[in-house]
Structures are given as structure tokens and as C-alpha cells.
Amino acid sequence: MAQFPATVAEPGQDSTLVLNMGPQHPSTHGVLRLVLEIDGETVVRVKPEIGFLHTGIEKTCEAKFYQQVVPLTDRIDYLCPLTNNLAYCLAVEKLLGLEIPPKAQWMRVLMNELTRINSHLVWLGTHAMDLGAMTVFLYCFREREDVLRFFEMVSGQRMMTSYFRIGGLALEPPLGFFEKVKKFADRFPGNVDEYEGLLTGNPIFMMRTKGVAHLSAEDAIALGACGPTLRGSGIDIDLRRDAPYSGYENFKFNVPVRTEGDVFARYLCRVQELRESIGMVQQALAGMPEGPVKADAPKVVLPDREKMKTQMEALIYHFKIITEGFTVPAGEVYQAIESPRGEMGYYVVSDGTAKPYRVHMRGPSYANLQTLAKMCEGQLIADVVAAIGSIDVVLGDIDR
């Protein structure tokens, strides 16, 4: 039997092999290409290559009216469209100095937490499937279907919702919506128990995740990790609690933090977040205020259909907003919110016209991707798959 070298080679030496992974690889969760430099089964260096999905959304935004940008934001992080809608709307509302009625704020929180559940379910299903647990995937997508139906109920779309608009919501939620969500929210903790029963104590899953792809707290901050990746390394930060927006200060929830910094820690953080999110959905349902879902700002918010067809003034405003947009006072705003993947920041610059001068999206996946190289160094090739799954990248968010 041949002797294997006891020590791992340095990068760039003759004894290493360069292996291409992706962009068409099932476990890279999109079009991510990794150039792996390996020594035997051990990864010496990882270089992510991105840009395959670059569509120039930031440039497109500069050519649209403020309200026309909302549907573009859906397409950035396509697993949490409502979170993108919210970040953009909050940024523009801050620029305008617009106040949002309480019902719209609570609906935004409710929909955002459902979005987080939706996104985490896709992550959990695919992550478990990457590691060989097929059943979880089917269970997760069963519940995800329910959440997508809720999105369809309120907005008519399953994924590209554009439900939040500048100044409030697009529509009132339909009759029977809250009852259906309530039914789901009562059932869902049992479903999470089901997933955990399949994974949390599972020896195979633990062997594949415990101690794998370790990231220390110092590295996590220096490399710009955010969200569950940062919390899995022991940093206690959650923008919903630390910098509340859209009425999150009215909600009670815990921020799960783990100190181990490995794949299993990030898994535990996210699964616990599922439970916290459904708790917030329950709170939002119980305390949902009555009232309008749009701000009282006729020059910014489109009038109701009914009013538009019966009142002259409403018709004029409608015509003006659609054809000329509305002007936004000059200035700039960086609005950060907690997306399922971490800090999602929208930097919107206005020059006082009806089109944004510059829109920049700070994507959480883009930040988390930079930690991948550090995580994978010295790990086995099979663990690269676990590491990618654990940072939960969405390539639409990275490439924009």
C-alpha cells in the first residue's frame, strides 16, 4: 500500500491538484463556481468565482421610477422576495419621511416572518439533501407549499410577490387569510419537531456537521459574516432586536446564538429561528391592529381602484404617479434589515428627481460567501458541500 504524505502541501505546489466545482453543480445552490486546490482529499485553497447571474439590477434601478423598482427587488434574493421589498420600501420611506399605518407594519412583520420560514425551509431541505438525508427535503417542501399559498393569497404570486409598496401594502389581505395562517402556525411547531427528529440527534448528520467548517468569532467579523453564520460563531446580533424597524419592537422573541462556530451550530441557530419566527407569526395574528394598509400620502401611494373610478382627484393622482412618478427629497439612506441570511442593506441615493440616483444592495450572501474559503481550508472535499449549505448562499443575491 502506498504511503500517503503525512502533511498537507502548501498552496501552489506541484503536489496539489486544481479541481473545478460548478457552476452547474447540484450542491452549489445556483451558479456558483468554486476552484478547489486539493491535496489528496484535503482542500488546500478555495477560490469562489461569481458573476454568472449578474443582471445589472443596480443599473436598471437608476432608469426606473421609485415605485417601479419594487418588482426588481423581488428578483435579487428570490427565496425571500418580501424581505427585499421591505428593505427597499423602508429605505425610500425614510427618504420621504413617510409614516406607515400600524396594520401595514404588522402585516409586514407577519409576511416577513413567513418569508423567513419559507427561506429556512428551502435551506433545511437542500442542506439535508446535500448531506444525504432525502426525507427532510420532502417534508420541508410540503410546509413550504403552504407558505407559498399564503403569498399567493395576498399578492397573486407565489414567489415574485411585490406585495409591499412604498407607503404600505399593495392590497388588503383577503378574507379568510388570517384563519388559514393561524391554522398553519398552530401546526408548524410539530413539523419542526419532525425535522429535528430526523436530523438533530441523527449520528450520521452529526458526523457530517459537528466540528466541520469551523469559523471563529474573530474571523467571522473580519470576513464580514452576517446572520446565522455570525450568530453560529457566538456573536449576538440581530437587527430585528438591535435596530428595530417596521414595528419589531412590539414583538417578543429570542435570538439563538451558538458558540461552536461549525456547520451544526449554524444548523441549530436556523432551526431555532424557525420556532421563533412562528412565535412572531402568532403574536402578529393575535395583535393585528385594524385600520388602513396604506399611508395617507396621495402623491406617493396609488389610490384605491374604487376611488380612482369615482373621484376626479384620485384619478389625477393615479395618472401622475404612473406617468411621472413622484419626486423624493435629495439625500441618502442606508436601511439594513435582518433577512433570513443576515444583514440586508439597501443604500438609496436620491438627487431630488423621480428616479433613484443610485441603489446599492448589500446582500447577505455576498458577505457570507467570503467566509467560505476560510471555512474550507484543511477540510475534506465532501465537507465543502456541507460548508456551502451551512452559509445558505443565494446566487441571485450575490450577483444581482
Partner 1 sequence: MALAPAITDIEQLKAHPALGRLVGWNASVVQAVKFDREELTIWIEKDAIREVCAILRDSPDCPFNYLCDLTCVDWYPSEPRFEVVYHLLSIAKKERVRLKVRLDGSSPAIESVTSVWPSANHYEREVFDLFGVRFSGHPNLTRIMMPDDWEGHPLRKDYPVEGYR
235 binds partner 1 (CB under 8 A): yes
Among 125, 227, 345, 356, contact with partner 1 (rule: CB under 8 A): 345
Query: Minimum Å distance from CB 57 to partner 1?
Result: 11
Shorter beta-carbon distance to partner 1: residue 58 or 194: 58
Among residues 358, 377, 380, 382, the one that binds partner 1 under rule CB under 8 A? 358
Nearer to partner 1, 222 or 316 (CB): 222
Binding partner 1 (rule: CB under 8 A), the pick from 237, 288, 380, 382 is 237
Site for partner 1 in 323-342 (CB under 8 A): 329, 331-334, 336
Binding of residue 303 to partner 1 (CB under 8 A): no
Contact residue for partner 1 among 165, 266, 294, 362 (CB under 8 A): 362
Q: What's the N-to-C CA distance of the chain in angstroms?
A: 50
182, 360, 380, 382: which one contacts partner 1 (CB under 8 A)? 360
Closest to partner 1 by CB, 173 or 363? 363
Instruction: Say how many residues touch partner 1, by CB under 8 A.
Output: 41
Residue 354 in contact with partner 1, rule: CB under 8 A = no
Cross-strand partners of 333? 348
Interface pick for partner 1 out of 30, 224, 298, 389 (rule CB under 8 A) = 224
Which span sits near partner 1 by CB under 8 A: 10-18, 277-285, 299-307, 355-363? 355-363
Q: What are the two backbone dihedrals, phi and then psi, of residue 38, each rounded to the nearest 5 degrees?
A: -120, 150
Report the alpha-carbon distance of residue 305 to residue 326 in Å, rounded.
19
Q: What does each C-alpha distance from 178 to 150, 154, 158, 159, 187 come to in angstroms?
A: 10, 11, 17, 20, 14
The answer to whether 347 contacts partner 1 (rule: CB under 8 A) is: yes
* Burial class (CB within 10 angstroms; exposed 0-12, middle 13-18, buried 19+) of 21: buried
Among the listed ranges 92-100, 246-254, 282-290, 316-324, the one in contact with partner 1 (CB under 8 A) is 92-100
Ranges within 26-65 binding partner 1 (CB under 8 A):
50-51, 54, 56, 58-60, 62-63
* DSSP conformational letter for 380: B
Ranges within 137-196 binding partner 1 (CB under 8 A)? none
Position 170: which residue type?
A
CB closer to partner 1, 101 vs 125: 101
CB 379 to partner 1: min, Å = 19
Cβ closest to partner 1, residue 121 vs residue 359? 359
Instruction: Indicate the residue among 213 and 239 with the shorter CB distance to partner 1.
Output: 239
Of 22-30, 129-137, 217-225, 306-314, which part binds partner 1 (CB under 8 A)?
Answer: 217-225
User: Residue 344 CB, nearest distance to partner 1 (Å)?
Assistant: 10
CB of 341 to partner 1, least distance (A): 14
Among 45, 75, 94, 180, binds partner 1 (CB under 8 A): 94
In three-state form (DSSP H/G/I as H, E/B as E, the rest C), the secondary structure along the chain is CCCCCCCCCCCCCCCCEEEEECCCCHHHCCCCEEEEEEECCEEEEEEEECCCCCCCHHHHHCCCCHHHHHHHHHCCCCCCHHHHHHHHHHHHHHHHCCCCCHHHHHHHHHHHHHHHHHHHHHHHHHHHHHCCCHHHHHHHHHHHHHHHHHHHHHHCCCCCCCCEECCEECCCCCCCHHHHHHHHHHHHHHHHHHHHHHHCCCHHHHHHHCCCCCCCHHHHHHCCCCCHHHHCCCCCCCHHHHCCCCCHHHCCCCCCCCCCCCHHHHHHHHHHHHHHHHHHHHHHHHCCCCCCCECCCCCCCCCCHHHHHHCHHHHHHHHHHHHHCCCCCCEEEEEEEEECCEEEEEEEEECCCCCCCEEEEECHHHHHHCCHHHHHCCCEHHHHHHHHHHHCCCHHHHHC
Q: With binding defined as CB under 8 A, does residue 99 bind partner 1?
A: yes
Residues lying near partner 1 in the complex (CB under 8 A) are found at: 50-51, 54, 56, 58-60, 62-63, 94-95, 97-99, 221-224, 235, 237, 242-243, 329, 331-334, 336, 343, 345, 347, 349, 357-358, 360, 362, 366-367, 369-370, 399
